[in-house]
Structure 1
């Protein structure tokens, strides 16, 4: 079973990081469609996709298998090389018709997170196509639920109803992937990147790694049920900012200690511990739709809060800080306002 790491003091975290010497992390790229004719918010053009992969090659970064690389990060002797993993959510048809050929020609591994209830519907792959891809070297197929529902517990939902709903969604999909494709990988992607503490616990109980949609790199202190990925759609994956993302480092704090993101006050406050590698004068934070925002330093912590409430269901605080070995520490906290309508 994948257990969540215990909370650590700032001093212990500093010692922990120092033991790894030069820090190199795993950066996971998240895609949906590879197409010029699908919804812009979740699409990456084939030309941009190729250019992104070209930059990965030019930077000398190794593209690795998601599950194996994630296990390695949390091992006693993680790799000291900065590495990249490629993922696709939902199993859209364009991944089969466009992305798969590009990646096969480049001999790059990737993972497809599958909504099993959507397979065979318009715009999605068929089971035959998934079965074919699953036989190719470097291709992994993993769980993205049956039905792509919003899995965090709804405000008016009983605990028993919630448990029944998420148990069906998670376990039906895992069983169908095993039955149809023979795959039983312990990696899972949250629909919409939404999760709460109870859902994280359900993922951990199954021994799975849980991947969100908040940006950032994965390091030894990253929570195993709240693993970040960089969205790579046209709006977020442009080349002018891609190098910093590919070379980013996990923020040097235990992210299990951060909130699960459920909004209880709007705007919410994110409190980060002050550790040796973080200097407030070099920290920069942004809020969705608001640009750069201020923060307050008090004692051994930093309090980050947007200047006004948000109107959306999901939004983020993103913070970066120069890393001592080059590049940037990168942290994204996704917030989820359950009072807002579902997509």
Structure 2
């Protein structure tokens, strides 16, 4: 009887030890599995973070100036004035002075091409104005205000024909409206190499708004265009060319590098960077008047 009790006790003890071993081994295996999974998650998270940071860095990295564009041109870093031309619409309708006929626009672009002018991007203009980088002696900047759809239809093919760069200042809240370019068209222009920049969110007369309201419309436009085009928006043209002292401060707070008016002068380093002069071009101007504005406008 005592032998049976001893054997039974021994068996129970062995079973208990086996259970403890099974539980211990299971716990250790589970811990190892969890640690491995945790390491994998950490690695994935780390890689995602690195990728996110690299993407952000790439997006925020300043544009490099393509010096090959200037090959064959005589360069200068002298503080000479640069004509910044301001167009609105290129349209055969010609119902008012803002609507320049495609024929006139092509004639003007041909004059620039035949006479050795090179249209700058706004990054190139910024490099000249703020960093004393050299540009061709016969530099010019071509800009369009508002973002009319007919600029895609009529101006864009002419610019491509002459191989010209240009900037379109877009009213962000008007995108996809009847008279204005679509998101798809703006992306195409941007991918081709035209600058798409800000003309505020709703084309407000900034001179009538307080600083906070100016900042709001500038930021809304900037963020909307950056989301659409996946690129930095660094430049703004003020609607109607109107502004006040608050406008310059608002543009700086909103994160813009240059702001443009319509004060009929050449742009040079003496300009306040948030009050850069442009020259208005109208359908009423003959080719002789156009040439005069390009060649004889004063600083």
Q: TM-score, normalised by structure 2?
A: 0.69
Residue 200 of structure 2 is matched in structure 1 by 145
Contact kept, 8 Å, 1:115 with 1:143, in 2: the verdict is: yes
SS at match of 1:148: coil
Structure 2 alignment gaps of length 5 or more: 1-75
Residue 3 of structure 1 is matched in structure 2 by none
Per-residue CA deviations over 1:66-89 (Å, capped at 9, x if unaligned) read 232233123234436130111111
SS at match of 2:177: coil
Within-5 A mapping of 1:180-199: 180-199=228-247
Within-5 A mapping of 1:1-343: 24-79=80-135, 81-136=137-192, 138-153=193-208, 162-205=210-253, 206-235=255-284, 237-248=285-296, 330-331=298-299
Per-residue CA deviations over 1:150-191 (Å, capped at 9, x if unaligned) read 11245xxxxxxx234222211011001111111223110001
Report the aligned-residue RMSD: 2.0
Whose helix fraction is larger, Structure 1's or Structure 2's? 2
| Counterparts of 1:171 and 1:22, CA distance in 2 | 34
Moved over 6 A (4+): none
Q: How many angstroms does 1:241 deviate by?
A: 2.1
Structure 1 alignment gaps of length 5 or more: 1-19, 155-161, 249-327, 332-343
CA radius of gyration, larger in? 2
| Counterparts of 2:256 and 2:237, CA distance in 1 | 14
| Counterparts of 1:121 and 1:76, CA distance in 2 | 40
Contact kept, 8 Å, 2:118 with 2:136, in 1: the verdict is: no
| Counterparts of 1:215 and 1:149, CA distance in 2 | 21
Q: TM-score, normalised by structure 1?
A: 0.61
Per-residue CA deviations over 1:217-267 (Å, capped at 9, x if unaligned) read 1112122111111111212x421122232224xxxxxxxxxxxxxxxxxxx
In the comparison of the two structures, how many residue pairs are matched? 223
| Counterparts of 2:114 and 2:203, CA distance in 1 | 36
Residue 338 of structure 1 is matched in structure 2 by none
Contact kept, 8 Å, 1:25 with 1:73, in 2: the verdict is: no
Q: How many angstroms does 1:59 deviate by?
A: 1.8
SS at match of 1:108: coil
Q: How many angstroms does 1:38 deviate by?
A: 4.9
| Counterparts of 1:142 and 1:67, CA distance in 2 | 12
Contact kept, 8 Å, 2:267 with 2:276, in 1: the verdict is: yes
Contact kept, 8 Å, 1:25 with 1:83, in 2: the verdict is: no
| Counterparts of 2:86 and 2:123, CA distance in 1 | 14
SS at match of 2:152: helix
SS at match of 1:131: helix
Residue 313 of structure 1 is matched in structure 2 by none
Contact kept, 8 Å, 2:77 with 2:132, in 1: the verdict is: no
